Structure 1
Amino acid sequence: MRTVRGWFRETTGGLPSTFWYLWVGTLINRLGSFVLIFLAIYLTTERGFSAFQAGLVLGAWGVGGAVGTMAGGVLADRWGRRPTLLTAHLGAATMMVALGLAHELRTVLGAALLLGLFAEAARPAFGAMVIDVVPARDRLRAFSLNYWAINLGFACAALLAGLAAEAGYLLLFVVDAATTLVTAVVVFVKVGETRTAVVAHPTTATGTRPGGLGTALRDRVFLVFVLLNLFNALIFLQHISMLPIAMGADGLPPASYGSVIALNGVLIVAGQLFVPRLIRGRSRSHVLALASAIVGIGFGLTAFADAAWFYAVTVLIWTLGEMLNSPSNSSLIAELSPADLRGRYQSVFSLSWQIAGASAPILGGLVRERLGDPVLWLGCAALGLLVAGAHLASGPARERRAATLRLATTPVTAPAVDAPPTVAAASAAAPAATTGPAAVAATAVGPAVGATPDGVPATAATEPLDAARR
């Protein structure tokens, strides 16, 4: 019992209260994420659209999401995290109801486009806000906890959505909008602005003068990292496009796919909170390489699967890779992002998922149709191993960039806009850790004891204010 209590304190203790309000908002929002699960079924059965028309609607959602991701990142840095997050949630709730009430195809397309825009605009602001308020050494735990909440909420939503759909599809849209509004209320009441004014040196760690979105798009080290995530996402997203088709071709009913894919959420909910302790102190490049290799191997084994139990084994394997990849990715984005451009860097990284979401089913379908299932799945394995090797090769450059960023930006104590003193002080005082992301810099007080996970020397920093630890 002592060991369990100690693990719980180690996993959840010491994180600032602002993070927990954001975490609660994430869980509430995901508990009501009904619409996307049943949207294709709703459009074809309730609205009578063809499969092609339903695909157009989903594509409009994706296009809006790509625009929203980029706009949300810019607004989070220029306007502020809090107003961007609130506007995005309020807009998403409004367009959710509008989509549920729309009937004509052009109206549905417009509502889906705007819903994708508002929904995805919240992501960069949320990610930047977590980086702002969580001390550098705790961010791996924080992102793991948030990822756990996302999967717990989504797993519950999948069950609740079926019950809500029986009462009427409009209820799906109303409940989804309501939970989004509740999240906005939590942010409005409990979360202050976290962006701090930053004074940067004339030349940034990327070798260019400080700028806007172009700085992220010219950052070669960061773009290589984004490109590797794009390739990894192309593999991973086959589970919602080609995997159900492959299982159907083996004579397995849709219910079997539902049961098999549910194992993904169950394993994440059961085991994700143990991941930070498992990978703590290990090389980030090695963890990301291992994750990519496991994901590739898991999907590659699908080439030999012909029964539900075999497919279940493949899902369990690539889910382990997903569990290692997600928190490591999130914490590394934090460390590679200059403090005054966190929103923009978050948006560029999120764009890789938007591109993969649009292209993964197209590429997977072309390969499967022209070359067959075995080539598709073994190709996923080969791509996963190539990405793993690329992570090992590019890791040292990323660590050098992270170390340079710790010295390239110096925060000032004054908040940028309307920041509550406790939040701003906590953000400004967050330390640069020796074994984690350190996008929030602090005053160096001497040589570090230890080094970053990839062996790059780090600098020690002052402890955060006690208020940030409560």
Structure 2
Amino acid sequence: MNQSIIRLADSFVVRGKDMQQKTGMTLKWLLLASLINNFAFGFIWPVTTVYLNGPLHQSLVVVGWVMLLVASGQAFGSIISGRLFDRFAPYKLILIGTLGMICIQFLLVFFHGWPFYAVNLIVAALLNGWIMAVINAYGTLVKNHDGRFVFNMLYFTNNFGMVFATALLGLIYPFGIVWLFILSLGLYFVLLGIVRHAFKIDITVDDAHQQSAMPKLPRWNLKLVYGVIIGLIVLWIAYAQWQGNLSVYMTTDLHLPLWQYSLLWTINGLLIAIIQVGLNAFHLVTSPKAMWIQIFGGIFMFGLAFLILPFAHDFTGFAIAMVITTFGEVTAFPMIPALVNELTPAALKGRYQGLVAAAPSVGRAIGPLVGGLVIERDGYSALFNGGALLVFITFAVLALLMLKGYRHTQQFTEGD
């Protein structure tokens, strides 16, 4: 990491010494930080394909490689910061990530031609993954709320920030891409203020951080943690088809207008908000039994939606599939980091929450490539049926792992 950024982060730490250190993370500030981070990044990456292929005149092949590097950078940032969280001062980590993002947004304002835009975007993705993993790890330090509730709300704020930013893109982009970078820069300054105000807390696992040998997970805990993380990657490989190849299928093969594809994501965003409110209203996110129903019921619905897609030839069919997909993702996805939290001790939570945060990026990096190869070889029906098969295999493997091994796992409570 650039030494100047580290020195700047240290100066913030020194200036903040007189701040009162709090024990435990305050949920409202954590959720606000998550919202702003995704809101700010949502002004940057969704226009990548349009901007590279349009004003910068790059081929779709080049665009594909850039998107692959963006997703890989995001995954790499999450993995690295997650591992450092258990060994390094978390407050410094999120400061470094936020200050780095401010520097990158400043550069993007002035350097957004080819290839500077692509390089800056890849670094921005790495820092975004870095910040997301640290925020996830801070979620394990919230003391006055159930972990399932915390990660459910983090999933909601992540999606709401991104959907809200994407909705504003169409209004702002015609005035010039520079305005998107300026808005993003302003939001990261707001995030910096929140970090300085609320993220300097007393971490009670300092002794574990100072140990030369980190603790090891029990055997079945390790198997289940890696099982659900790999399962999450597979689900995101399937989900990536919705975000990329499906738009080509709807507009090119079926000749449906682009606004209908965009409307699917409006439905997705609204449903996420409605379902999250319902889950919280009935306290389902804090029930251990409901967690299993959410995980496996969600995965099943995710696969069911892919079985509908081969028969969808108009907007209604795709809308039905999107509704089912949204129910699946909003129930299953937030419970995976919550489960990993319960299966990992305090000294290892950062490492494994970093892997959880990286999983969607890995899936988004692999998904378009895998989908493109299947489409070229066998067509869209094979893609949709193959997606369903992949999801149901994931369902079966995770179910077998849980039935065989969950009773042998060790559960970790706060401070363990």
- Please report the TM-score for the alignment, with normalisation by the length of structure 2: 0.85
How far 1:364 sits from its partner (Å)? 1.0
How far 1:271 sits from its partner (Å)? 1.9
How far 1:204 sits from its partner (Å)? 4.8
**Amino acid paired to 2:310:** A
Q: For residue 414 of structure 1, what is the aligned residue in structure 2?
A: none
Distance change >3 Å, CA 160–CA 120, structure 1 → 2: same
Conserved 8 A contact 1:82-1:125: no
Unmatched segments (≥5 aa) in structure 1: 1-15, 209-215, 407-437, 443-470
1:235 lines up with 2:243 in the alignment: no
Distance change >3 Å, CA 87–CA 304, structure 1 → 2: same
Q: For residue 266 of structure 1, what is the aligned residue in structure 2?
A: 270
Match of 1:49 among 55, 58, 62: 58
Conserved 8 A contact 1:198-1:339: no
How far 1:322 sits from its partner (Å)? 0.6
% identical aligned pairs? 23
Q: For residue 398 of structure 2, what is the aligned residue in structure 1?
A: 391
Unmatched segments (≥5 aa) in structure 2: 1-23
Q: For residue 222 of structure 1, what is the aligned residue in structure 2?
A: 225
Conserved 8 A contact 1:221-1:397: no
Q: For residue 354 of structure 2, what is the aligned residue in structure 1?
A: 347
How far 1:244 sits from its partner (Å)? 0.8
Q: For residue 301 of structure 2, what is the aligned residue in structure 1?
A: 294
Tell me the alpha carbon deviations over residues 244-287 of structure 1, each in whole angstroms, 9 at most, x when there is no partner.
12212111011110012221111001221222434524154443
How far 1:131 sits from its partner (Å)? 0.7
Q: For residue 306 of structure 1, what is the aligned residue in structure 2?
A: 313
Distance change >3 Å, CA 124–CA 176, structure 1 → 2: same
**Amino acid paired to 1:60:** L
**Amino acid paired to 2:383:** L
Distance change >3 Å, CA 100–CA 48, structure 1 → 2: farther
- What is the alpha-carbon distance in structure 2 between the residues aligned to residue 348 and residue 142 of structure 1? 18
Q: For residue 60 of structure 1, what is the aligned residue in structure 2?
A: 69
- 3-state DSSP of counterpart to 2:54: helix
Match of 1:169 among 160, 174, 177: 177
1:370 lines up with 2:373 in the alignment: no
- What is the alpha-carbon distance in structure 2 between the residues aligned to residue 356 and residue 391 of structure 1? 17
- What is the alpha-carbon distance in structure 2 between the residues aligned to residue 400 and residue 245 of structure 1? 45
Tell me which of the two structures has the higher relative contact order, counting C-alpha pairs closer than 8 angstroms and 6 or more residues apart: 2
Which is richer in strand?
1
- 3-state DSSP of counterpart to 2:47: helix
Q: For residue 24 of structure 1, what is the aligned residue in structure 2?
A: 32
- What is the alpha-carbon distance in structure 2 between the residues aligned to residue 53 and residue 43 of structure 1? 9
**Amino acid paired to 2:325:** W
Q: For residue 132 of structure 1, what is the aligned residue in structure 2?
A: 141
How far 1:63 sits from its partner (Å)? 2.9
Q: For residue 183 of structure 1, what is the aligned residue in structure 2?
A: 191
- 3-state DSSP of counterpart to 2:104: helix
Distance change >3 Å, CA 238–CA 77, structure 1 → 2: same
- What is the alpha-carbon distance in structure 2 between the residues aligned to residue 265 and residue 259 of structure 1? 10
How far 1:17 sits from its partner (Å)? 6.9
Distance change >3 Å, CA 270–CA 207, structure 1 → 2: closer
Q: CA RMSD in A?
A: 2.5
Query: Which is further off, 192-201 or 126-135?
Result: 192-201
- What is the alpha-carbon distance in structure 2 between the residues aligned to residue 389 and residue 241 of structure 1? 27
Match of 1:253 among 254, 257, 265: 257
Residue-pair matches, total: 385
- What is the alpha-carbon distance in structure 2 between the residues aligned to residue 100 and residue 145 of structure 1? 32
Distance change >3 Å, CA 282–CA 134, structure 1 → 2: same
- Please report the TM-score for the alignment, with normalisation by the length of structure 1: 0.76
Conserved 8 A contact 1:145-1:273: no
Distance change >3 Å, CA 310–CA 204, structure 1 → 2: same
Distance change >3 Å, CA 379–CA 57, structure 1 → 2: closer
How far 1:194 sits from its partner (Å)? 4.7
Q: For residue 206 of structure 1, what is the aligned residue in structure 2?
A: 217
Query: Which is further off, 292-301 or 222-231?
Result: 222-231
**Amino acid paired to 1:40:** T
Conserved 8 A contact 2:301-2:328: yes
Distance change >3 Å, CA 356–CA 194, structure 1 → 2: farther
